[in-house]
């Protein structure tokens, strides 16, 4: 894989709480990563300005607000997310088929093809079988992930967010065109932090990931731009 293809796969998680930090990372990482993720912390702190700031720097946005509510509320939130001009937006698959279908239909009927790709979060990368068991889900994590990925696909979603360990199973169940976005990726030089089900970047791409969400391995590095370059090299060098 060439470096440009590898770079486009990296989504940098902007897990910060101010516009000044967006400016800092956008200046450091534009041209080094493929997309910027605006998540709950940043959106709660700065709102739409966070998205607008990334767009102003010429970056593309994955709006990661993981909606989970009654179908009408999630559909309306997704329509507003789409209006902001983001490339990817997500909800929790555990919200169920009706919630996903209502959201997917609302976005498609309002924006047609000029819309963000819609992702369903399956089981979070910080969850284990014990996490599931304690909320009453007795199935193994990988079975739950595949079940939710299939449900998401049947409900009109474009793809899923899942741990790298389940990429192969999802590809098998949902086919080559279904997007797989995977956090919980750790390059050789980085700490594991609180992620539990992890994989190296090149391995995740080889397994079939379309995008890798990477935060602290880049943000906490003494030279974030160099860390992003190293990850691009790991992917390009390790993937056919």
Ligand X SMILES: O=C(O)c1cc(=O)[nH]c(=O)n1[C@@H]1O[C@H](COP(=O)(O)O)[C@@H](O)[C@H]1O
Instruction: Cite the active site residues.
Output: 66
Nearest 5°: phi and psi at 91? -140, 175
Chosen residue from 6, 38, 161, 205 binding ligand X by CB under 6 A? 161
Residue 68 marked as a ligand binder? yes
Residue 69 marked as a ligand binder? yes
Region of 99-107, 110-118, 133-141, 211-219 interacting with ligand X (CB under 6 A) = 211-219
Angle at which helices 97-111 and 71-83 cross, to 10°: 30
Q: Is residue 30 packed enough to be buried (19+ CB in 10 Å), middle (13-18) or exposed (0-12)?
A: middle
Chosen residue from 15, 23, 60, 101 binding ligand X by CB under 6 A? 15
Residue 37 marked as a ligand binder? yes
Tell whether residue 13 is a contact of ligand X (CB under 6 A).
yes
User: How many Cβ atoms sit within 10 Å of the Cβ of residue 107?
Assistant: 22
Q: What span, in angstroms and rounded, lies between the C-alpha atoms of 20 and 37? A: 16
Chosen residue from 21, 64, 158, 234 binding ligand X by CB under 6 A? 64
Q: What span, in angstroms and rounded, lies between the C-alpha atoms of 62 and 118? A: 10
Tell whether residue 234 is a contact of ligand X (CB under 6 A).
no
State the residues that interact with ligand X by CB under 6 A.
Answer: 13, 15, 39, 64, 90, 121, 124-125, 161, 183-184, 193, 195, 213-217
């Amino acid at each position: 894989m060439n470096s440009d293809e590898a770079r486009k796969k990296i989504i940098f998680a902007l897990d910060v709480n101010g516009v000044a930090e967006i400016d800092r990372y956008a200046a450091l990482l534009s041209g080094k990563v493929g997309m910027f993720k605006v998540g709950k912390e940043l959106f709660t702190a700065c709102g739409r300005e966070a998205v607008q700031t990334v767009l102003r720097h010429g970056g593309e946005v994955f709006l990661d607000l993981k909606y989970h509510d009654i179908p009408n509320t999630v559909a309306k939130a997704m329509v507003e997310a789409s209006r902001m001009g983001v490339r990817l937006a997500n909800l929790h698959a555990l919200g169920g088929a009706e919630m996903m279908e209502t959201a997917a239909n609302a976005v498609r009927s309002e924006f047609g093809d000029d819309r963000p790709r819609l992702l369903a979060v399956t089981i979070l990368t910080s969850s284990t079988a014990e996490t599931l068991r304690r909320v009453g889900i007795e199935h193994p994590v990988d079975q739950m992930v595949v079940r939710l990925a299939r449900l998401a696909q049947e409900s009109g979603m474009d793809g899923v967010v899942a741990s790298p360990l389940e990429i192969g199973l999802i590809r098998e169940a949902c086919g080559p065109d279904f997007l797989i976005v995977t956090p919980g990726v750790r390059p050789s030089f980085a700490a594991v932090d609180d992620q539990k089900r992890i994989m190296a970047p090149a391995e995740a791409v080889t397994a079939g990931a379309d995008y890798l969400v990477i935060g602290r391995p880049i943000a906490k590095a003494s030279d974030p731009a160099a860390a992003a370059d190293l990850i691009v090299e790991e992917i390009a060098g390790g993937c056919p």
